[in-house]
Amino acid sequence: MNKIIILITCILIVAFSSCSQRATESQRWIYHDSINYPIPNPLVSENGTLIRTVKQWENIRKPELYRLFEQQVYGEVPEGISVQFRERYSSPDYLDGRATIREFEMLVNDEPVPQMHVLLFIPNAQNGKVPLIIGYNWNGNHTQCSDTMIYKMTEEQILRRILPRRLEQTMERGQRITSPSKTIERIIDNGYAYITACYWELESDTRERPGAGGVRALVSNGQPLADNAWGAIAAWAWGMSRMLDLAETIDEIDSTKNAVVGHSRLGKATLWAGASDERIAIATSNDSGTGGSALSKRVSGETVRQINERFIHWFCRNFHQYNDNEETLPIDQHQLLTLIAPRPLYIASGVRDLWADPLGEYLSVFYANPVYELYGKQPMPYPYTTLPPVDTPQIGDIAYHVEDGGHTFSRYDWEQFLLFFDRYLKNR
Ligand code: GTR
């Protein structure tokens, strides 16, 4: 009889402890002196469940947060887009034979004009399949590679995608390079393949003519986009996933070992790509600021209104309701980082890049730590809510550094990212 009572008690205890626990009102928010507004606790669900296990996180909280970011910030990618790749050029002799280059046209929804040109560098000296780094370029593939066969957009094509006033600058910066890019050379010599495309070839980056000459207008047949439809950042993130699709078909690459890299607006895109596509193995962002890794509710540096007014095409229209209204946002950017957990993530800032709010970028990492810990991963180790010392990387499975610089993707940033990739992507 006693044994039966003990058994029933045990069953009741197990049943009770597995029941979801409710959070108190104050547990829903994280309060801290260095933030003007409380920010939402990633580990409390909308209906007040305290998230204590990976299972609860993955079944309840993570999908809920993903949906909020998708519907309120970046916008939803339409279903059923068809994509095909066609090789247009290859050469096995790049960098004195150290790399093979291959360039592909990406065709969307059977439209005959390519929507994006994707350039791939593969190291020739390989010992098995190589890992991959995915990153957009700013001025065209021909600025990444000194081979003159690489595709170069015409002035007319450029004008369909960026502002006339950026044309001159783009043409100037977009001169064909005559010697190979040092960064790409370093990537290749480190044993990585590298895949790149010009982000505004895929989706235009113009304020005045949102959607002009981009994949969003093509897919919607020029129809106006809904308030929750994808903004340009979501389109660029989607393009990174398509580059990964292509890499999956390349024999020399182990596409499961990959990392996305991006600076500033492209750092916003890499974070959303990492959150939306679980195949992305490592995400990084440099100086990604507002709408990237910086907390919006701090209202420091660029505000939600400022970014939405200057770049009306970047986010979905729903995000504009938070202009001067950050406190009503149901999420904040630390929760974007939690959507990438448990995969490795590295956020970098520049200490003088106040427009991107380095402290807000750092605090996002700090407040994303508990989700990495829930998975048993190594958190970012710096234990304070003040910026860590400059040029002193804080490396966990979620990592952070603030460099002694401004709004640039420096050699220092690259070096730290490459060391971080080596930890996870190199066969040892
Ligand atoms: C700035 C913008 C930032 C950042 C940056 C960039 O002007 O305010 O949000 O994205 O541009 O992409 O270079």
Q: What is the pLDDT of residue 2?
A: 66
Q: What is the pLDDT of residues 12-28, one digit of tens each?
A: 554 445 557 899 988 99
Q: What is the pLDDT of residues 387-419, one digit of tens each?
A: 999 999 999 999 999 999 999 999 999 999 999
Give mean pLDDT, residues 257-276: 98
**Ligand 1 atom with the shortest distance to the CA of 310:** 8
Same domain membership, residue 98 and residue 241: yes
**Residues that are catalytic:** 264, 407
Cβ-Cβ contacts under 8 Å for 345 (sequence gap 6 or more): 274, 282, 283, 284, 337, 368, 397, 398, 399
Q: What is the pLDDT of residue 254?
A: 98
Same domain membership, residue 113 and residue 28: no
Mean pLDDT across the chain, nearest whole number? 92
Q: Nearest residue CA, atom 8 of ligand 1?
A: 307
**Ligand 1 atom with the shortest distance to the CA of 302:** 8
Give mean pLDDT, residues 251-258: 98
- Evaluate whether 266 touches 314 at the Cβ level (below 8 Å): no
- The Cβ-side half-sphere exposure at 61, using a 13 Å CA radius, reads 26
Q: pTM (2 decimals)? A: 0.94
Q: What is the pLDDT of residues 273-329, one digit of tens each?
A: 999 999 999 999 999 999 999 999 999 999 999 999 999 999 999 999 999 999 999
Q: What is the pLDDT of residues 34-68, one digit of tens each?
A: 667 899 999 999 999 999 999 999 999 999 999 99
Q: What is the pLDDT of residue 236?
A: 98
Pocket of ligand 1 (CB under 6 A): 264-265, 289-290, 302, 307
Same domain membership, residue 123 and residue 69: no
CA 167 – CA 155 distance, rounded (Å) = 8
Q: What is the pLDDT of residue 165?
A: 63
Q: What is the pLDDT of residue 164?
A: 64
% of the chain residues with pLDDT over 70: 90
Q: Which residues of 359-388 are buried (b: 16+ CB within 10 A; e: fewer)?
A: bbbbbbbbbbbbbbbbeebebbebeeeebb
Same domain membership, residue 99 and residue 15: no
Cβ-Cβ contacts under 8 Å for 261 (sequence gap 6 or more): 133, 134, 135, 270, 284, 286, 417
**Lowest mean per-residue pLDDT among 25-39, 81-95, 162-176, 242-256:** 162-176
Q: For a substitution probing ligand 1, which of 266, 311, 408 has the most ligand atoms within 8 Å of its CB?
A: 311
Q: In the listed set 216, 238, 255, which residue is the last one of a domain according to the structure? A: 255
CA 105 – CA 85 distance, rounded (Å) = 6
Q: How many domains does the chain have?
A: 2
Q: What is the pLDDT of residue 395?
A: 98
Q: For a substitution probing ligand 1, which of 169, 206, 265 has the most ligand atoms within 8 Å of its CB?
A: 265
Question: Domain of 209?
Answer: 87-255
Same domain membership, residue 212 and residue 149: yes
Peptide bond into 342 cis (omega under 30): yes
Q: What is the pLDDT of residue 274?
A: 99
Q: In the listed set 74, 104, 136, which residue is the last one of a domain according to the structure? A: 74
CA 263 – CA 395 distance, rounded (Å) = 19
Same domain membership, residue 138 and residue 58: no
Q: What is the pLDDT of residue 19?
A: 56
Same domain membership, residue 111 and residue 156: yes
Answer yes or no: is pLDDT of 1 > 60: no
Q: Which residues of 173-208 are buried (b: 16+ CB within 10 A; e: fewer)?
A: ebeebeebbebbbebbebbbbbbbbbbbbbbbbbee
**Lowest mean per-residue pLDDT among 98-102, 161-165, 368-372, 409-413:** 161-165
The Å distance, Cα 263 to ligand 1 centre, comes to 9
User: Is 202 within a domain?
Assistant: yes
**Beta pairing class for 253-260 and 130-134:** parallel
The Å distance, Cα 66 to ligand 1 centre, comes to 24
